[in-house]
Amino acid sequence: MKHRLHFFAFLTLVILFHTTTWGQEPISNEPLPKVHIIATGGTIAGTSTDIGYDAGKVSIETILQAVPELTHYAELDYEQFCNIGSQDMSESIWLPLAKRVNQVLESGKYDAVLITHGTDTMEETAFFLNLTIHSPKPVILVGAMRPSDAVDADGPANLLKAVQTIVKPDAVGKDVMCCLGGKVYEAGAAFKNDTHSLDPIAETSVDWYLPHNANTGFFVDNLKELPEVGIVYGYGSSSTVAFEALVNAGYKGIVFAGVGDGNLNQATLDLAAKAVKSGVMIVRSSRITYGGVYTEGGEVDDEKLGFIASGSLNPQKSRILLMLALTATRDIDVIRSYFRQGVFTQVVELPGVSNARQLGGYIIGDKKVRMDFTFAKRKPFQCLLLFRKAVPLFGIRMIRTSFGVTESRHRSHLNDIITLDSLF
């Protein structure tokens, strides 16, 4: 009798093993989410060489064949957008890529977008897309630290993790995400902090969050190029040659990866102040990863000199935000609000607003509008705003409200009804 019981127990396990994918939930009869994959290359598409590997050599079709488990979670289709190492990623690719992602998500055919990408500039592409995609549907970038033909390639596991992430309901409305080392990070906080580790992404604290919908972010689908913005790195006894070169080349903005709290030596500071008067936008960021750069409590008087403090953004993300800001405005106060506000607007409802209309990054109207605000700690608040003037949907500049700055440099609670008479 005991032997018969053991046999039936064993038979049951065998049946379960063959009917359920190991380590996964049983496959549902519900229709699978539809995910569109856009391939751009990177190490995940690389092949080994005698000295290392070449990025961007393998097609997305070949990559996907190595991960048949993906079809348990989503219905997939794909396109080969480009096939490069991400060190060659540029605005000439970012702009059409953002346009393509918006087209895919607006088509109504897909529930999410996955982008294969190299790790070198993944955080930059993710941040750019985070500011230019106008859909709450999930978007994730996924890469690898080992080429596709490595015996222990990490790309397949990262692809699987990425698909598993974006098909979940709680992925809707999040920042554009990055997936590496089997972990998922949001674009605003993610940065690459290791040149060789299989888990090369870390996070910093961020001051703000941009909710995704049709009215938020920057509208770039019709742009062919972005204003030129460069980065100058600070160091002991640093020369002014790099800064002068960018000014003479006609750059519209310069980001300083300054020492300490975004500091510049005196020679560079003097040249920067002069450049501001000629129309160049100057952003102070820091070569230090954590802490951010703020006007309050620092050594540089940004208001007096006409500079912009980067807040929690590192130099490369500051450059992206400044480039995009310059497509919308030259008003330094508005651009400062993009960097420091810590709050972005999302229209939830427009009751009785018949004359409201969207104009670029602005909405014009004179009725009460309910808005959602999300702060540094991502606690949602609501307030009523009375529109009296054009208000940028990307970031509202608050004046004479209870919206203050605490000693920790994070924003405090907004608990008033605000009238916008004092804006602009």
Q: CATH no. for residue 255?
A: 3.40.50.40
Look at residue 33 and give its three-state secondary structure.
coil
In a domain, 253, yes or no: yes
Report the alpha-carbon distance of residue 158 to residue 115 in Å, rounded.
12
In a domain, 6, yes or no: no
In a domain, 331, yes or no: no
Same domain for 160 and 75, yes or no, is yes
Same domain for 417 and 276, yes or no, is no
- 414 C-beta neighbours (distance < 10 Å), count: 18
Nearest to 411 by CA among 375, 372, 373, 371: 375
pLDDT at site 237: 92
Same domain for 83 and 142, yes or no, is yes
In a domain, 13, yes or no: no
- 186 C-beta neighbours (distance < 10 Å), count: 18
Q: Using a cut of 0.85, tell me whether the model's pTM lies above it.
A: no
Same domain for 142 and 233, yes or no, is no
Average pLDDT of the residues in 188-215: 83
Q: Which residues are known to be catalytic? A: 43
Over the stretch 401-412, which tens digit does the pLDDT of each residue have? 222 222 222 222
Same domain for 293 and 357, yes or no, is no
In a domain, 209, yes or no: no
Q: Which residue has the higher pLDDT, 350 or 239?
A: 239
pLDDT tops 80 at residue 197: yes
Same domain for 382 and 410, yes or no, is yes
383 beta partners = 371
pLDDT tops 60 at residue 315: yes
Same domain for 57 and 177, yes or no, is yes
Task: Supply the CATH number for residue 137's domain.
Answer: 3.40.50.1170
- b/e 318-356 (16+ beta carbons within 10 angstroms → b): bbbbbbbbbbbbeebebbbbbbbbbbbbbbeeeeebeee
Same domain for 302 and 370, yes or no, is no
Three-state SS annotation for 258-300: EECCCECCHHHHHHHHHHHHCCCEEEEEECCCCCCECCCCCCC
pLDDT at site 207: 75
What one-character DSSP code corresponds to residue 36? E
Over the stretch 25-44, which tens digit does the pLDDT of each residue have? 444 578 999 999 999 999 99
Report the alpha-carbon distance of residue 38 to residue 89 in Å, rounded.
14
pLDDT tops 80 at residue 5: no
Choice among 84-98, 110-124, 153-167, 284-298 with the minimum mean pLDDT: 284-298
Q: Which of 326, 355, 371 is the last residue of a domain?
A: 326
Q: Which of 298, 326, 354 is the last residue of a domain?
A: 326
Q: Which two tokens stand for residue 244?
A: 């002068």
pLDDT at site 411: 29
pLDDT tops 80 at residue 342: no
In a domain, 40, yes or no: yes
Q: Which of 264, 292, 326 is the last residue of a domain?
A: 326
pLDDT tops 70 at residue 355: no
Average pLDDT of the residues in 152-157: 94
pLDDT at site 181: 94
Q: Which residue has the higher pLDDT, 15 or 166?
A: 166
Note whether 257 and 286 are within 8 A (CB).
Answer: yes
What one-character DSSP code corresponds to residue 376? T
pLDDT at site 159: 98
Average pLDDT of the residues in 300-317: 95
**Domain count of the chain?**
3
pLDDT tops 50 at residue 344: no
Note whether 294 and 411 are within 8 A (CB).
Answer: no
Average pLDDT of the chain?
Answer: 78
Same domain for 152 and 251, yes or no, is no
pLDDT tops 50 at residue 170: yes
Question: What are the residues whose beta carbons fall under 8 Å from the beta carbon of 101, sequence distance 6 or more?
Answer: 38, 113, 115, 129, 133, 139
pLDDT tops 80 at residue 385: no
Average pLDDT of the residues in 206-228: 83
In a domain, 52, yes or no: yes
In a domain, 335, yes or no: no
Range of the domain at 251: 229-326
pLDDT at site 296: 78
Same domain for 350 and 281, yes or no, is no
14's enclosing H/E stretch is helix 2-19
Same domain for 266 and 380, yes or no, is no
Average pLDDT of the residues in 175-196: 93
Average pLDDT of the residues in 377-401: 32
Same domain for 43 and 159, yes or no, is yes
